[in-house]
């Protein structure tokens, strides 16, 4: 493995001014089962975070709802004081009532509290990228985005992103404030958000695919994904990540894990060069 494989993924500038390596790390899986509570191996979770940075990751994505709060606490414990150039993106607006249970709350006073508490847990004076984890259908969008815009103007947020949105919602938010990233479900087998990805490309918005490693039946022996993995001496999951990086210049995959060995395998995907014919063949599978 090269010393910093994540750097081989290329660079994208959030908001046109904040450069990150395109292959990042998603810090959801360093919590307990059901994204609830402490990890089964806290020391290994801390090692994963430190190793990610050693391997060139400079975009770590988390949320106050991961744990809840556990993921942000672990990031600060493992990495503070943060190295120059490390971007920690977090999210707010999802509440937790138990393992696997998520409920959006977008009241402005609650979102303001979310930002303040994330700043405290992460030991930051300003959050580089703050994402509305879900739009709360019970609260006007302008109220939810408006309070984040206000906190940006106060210097507590640098850039604002969205999660699980369609093109219409992106444009409604952009009428209120600049949006620099969108985080939607997207992978080799699940591409319902193709129109959103194309919209992000058109407007220079970073697209952060969550659950990026899903391969499903496409990884079956003898298939196109398995054949590509054999050609590159790689795993199907690594090829799936490599395909994402080739799919679009605004793509910012954030594969997550709680194990150092798995982290190293994931980041090695950035060094895999697929030829256009392979990209097209894989693109045609879903």
User: Which residues are marked as active site?
Assistant: 66
Distance CA 243, CA 191 (A): 13
216: left (phi over 0), alpha (psi -120 to 50) or beta: left
Bond from prior residue into 68 cis (ω within 30 degrees of 0): yes
Contacts of 146 (CB under 8 A, 6+ apart): 108, 176, 177
Q: Determine what percent of the chain falls in helix, strand and coil, rounding each to the nearest 5.
A: 40, 20, 40
CA-based radius of gyration for the chain: 18
Q: Residue 197 in contact with residue 186, Cβ under 8 Å?
A: yes
| Phi-psi map region of 85: left, alpha, beta (phi>0 left; psi -120 to 50 alpha) | left
Cα angle: 239, vertex 240, 243; to 5 degrees? 85
CB 283 within 8 A of CB 239: no
Q: Which helix (H) or strand (E) holds 239?
A: helix 236-247
Residue 181: strand pairing partners: 161, 206
Per the DSSP assignment, residues forming a β-bridge with 12 are 20
Bridge partners, 163 (sequence order): 183
């Amino acid at each position: 493995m090269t010393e910093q494989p994540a750097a081989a993924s290329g660079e994208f500038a959030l908001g046109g001014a904040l450069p990150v390596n395109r292959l990042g790390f998603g810090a959801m899986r360093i919590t307990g089962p059901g994204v609830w509570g402490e990890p089964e191996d806290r020391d290994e979770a801390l090692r994963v975070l430190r190793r990610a940075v050693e391997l060139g990751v400079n975009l770590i994505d988390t949320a106050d709802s991961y744990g809840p709060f556990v993921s942000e606490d672990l990031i600060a414990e493992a990495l503070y004081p943060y190295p120059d150039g490390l971007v920690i993106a977090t999210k707010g607006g999802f509440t937790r009532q138990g393992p696997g249970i998520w409920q959006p709350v977008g009241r402005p006073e609650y979102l303001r509290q979310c930002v303040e508490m994330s700043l405290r847990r992460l030991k930051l004076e300003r959050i580089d990228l703050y994402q509305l984890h879900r739009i709360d259908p019970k609260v006007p969008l302008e109220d939810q985005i408006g309070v984040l815009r206000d906190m940006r103007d106060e210097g507590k947020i640098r850039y604002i992103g969205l999660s699980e949105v369609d093109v219409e919602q992106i444009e409604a938010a952009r009428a209120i404030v600049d949006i620099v990233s969108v985080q939607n479900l997207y992978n080799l087998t699940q591409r319902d958000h193709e129109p959103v990805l194309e919209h992000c490309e058109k407007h220079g918005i970073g697209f952060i695919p969550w659950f990026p490693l899903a391969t499903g039946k496409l990884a079956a022996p003898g298939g196109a994904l398995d054949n590509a993995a054999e050609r590159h001496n790689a795993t199907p999951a690594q090829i799936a990540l490599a395909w994402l990086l080739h799919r679009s210049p605004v793509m910012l995959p954030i594969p997550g894990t709680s194990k150092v060995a798995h982290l190293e395998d994931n980041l090695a995907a950035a060094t895999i060069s697929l030829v256009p014919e392979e990209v097209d063949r894989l693109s045609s599978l879903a």
